[in-house]
Amino acid sequence: MNVGYVALIGRPNVGKSTLMNHLLGQKISITSRKPQTTRHRILGINTCEKGQAIYMDTPGMHQNEKKALNRYLNQTADTTLFGVDVVVWLIDGLAWQPYDDIIFKKLKRANLPVILVVNKVDRVQNKDAILEFFDEAKTKYPFEAMVPVSALKRINLIPLEETIFSLLPENDLIYPKDQITDRPTRFLAAEIIREKLTRRLGDELPYALTVEIERYEEQKKITKIYATILVERDTQKNIVIGKQGEMLKKVGTDARLDIEKLIDQKVYLQLWTKVKKGWSDSERALKSLGFDDIM
C-alpha cells in the first residue's frame, strides 16, 4: 500500500482547507474567505484501496511576524515540511507573488517531491494561459507534477489524488482505517465556533479572537458544550455579542447545527465572551490556549 504524509502549503486564503476537506470527503478543517482562518496543523486521514494519505493542513505562509501568534503560524507552516513524504503547494491565480521566492527556498532545503496545484481555475477564461504558466513554472523548480484544480467545485481532484498516492512510499497503515483526524472532538467544536464567528462577522471580525472550550460533557442523549470566546478589547467584545446579544445567538445556532452533524447527536451549546488583553502576543497565553504544536 502507498502510505505517507502530505503537507498542504501556500499563502493565506488560497484554499488549502477546502482542498483537504474535499479530498477527504468530509469537513475537518474550517474554511472562510478571511485570510489565516487556519491556525493549527490539522491532520486529515484518507484511507482507501490505494493506501493512506495523511494530509496536513497548515496556516498560510506569510511575511508578517509582528505578534507571537503570527510567529506561531509561520513556525507551524515551516515545521510541517519536516517528516512528510510529499508537498502539495497550492496557489491561486496565474502569477507569482513576492513571498513565493521564500517558499521556493524552503522547498529546496526540504528536498521533497512537490506537486504544484493551481486552484480556482474555473475562474480562468483563457485555458492556454494555464499551460503557459506551467511552462514558466518548470523553469523555476523541478515539480513532480502540476495540476490545475478547483477545490470548491471539485474539478480535477481525482487526478490530483492519484498523483499524490503515486508519490507516497509503500508502507503499512499508520492510522486505523476508520480514523479521519488526529484532533479530539472538543478541538473540532472550538474550530467550528471560530468558523461561524469568522463568517458572521466578516470584516468586523477581531483578528485577535480565539475560542476555548471550558467544559465538554458527553451524555447519553445530548452533549453539553460550554465555550468562551476570547478577545483583546471591550470594543471587540461588543462586536462579538452584537446588539441585544443577537450576533452571539446566531453564531451559537450556526455552530450547534454543525457540531450536531459532526458528532451525530443533539448538542446544547453555551457561549460566553471574555476580554483577555494581549493574548495574541503572549507565548505563555498561546500555550495555555492550545497553540502548542511547535512551541
User: Which CATH number is 112's domain given?
Assistant: 3.40.50.300
pLDDT at 272 over 90: yes
Least confidently predicted of 21-35, 60-74, 82-96, 169-183: 60-74
Q: Residue length, the chain?
A: 295
Average pLDDT over residues 179-207: 82
Instruction: Say if pTM beats, i.e. exceeds, 0.85.
Output: no
158 and 190 share one domain? no
CATH number of 214's domain: 3.30.300.20
- Per-residue pLDDT reduced to its tens digit, 139-160: 999 999 999 999 889 999 999 9
122 and 197 share one domain? no
- 39 in any annotated domain: yes
- 295 in any annotated domain: no
36 and 62 share one domain? yes
- Could you tell me which residue, 115 or 57, shows the higher pLDDT? 115
- 32 in any annotated domain: yes
21 and 161 share one domain? yes
Phi, psi of 72 (to 5 degrees): -60, -45
Average pLDDT over residues 119-131: 90
205 and 161 share one domain? no
**Which residues lie below 8 Å from residue 228, measured CB to CB, with a gap of 6+?**
211, 212, 214, 271, 272, 273, 274
- Per-residue pLDDT reduced to its tens digit, 205-240: 656 678 889 999 999 999 999 999 988 888 889 989
Q: What is the pLDDT of residue 168?
A: 97
Average pLDDT over residues 56-72: 57
pLDDT at 287 over 70: no
| Mean of pLDDT over the chain | 83
Q: What is the pLDDT of residue 127?
A: 85
149 and 268 share one domain? no
- 178 in any annotated domain: no
Q: What is the pLDDT of residue 37?
A: 47
Number of domains in the chain: 2
Average pLDDT over residues 38-60: 81
- Per-residue pLDDT reduced to its tens digit, 84-96: 999 999 998 888 8
Average pLDDT over residues 24-41: 62
150 and 265 share one domain? no
| Domain extent for 123 | 2-167
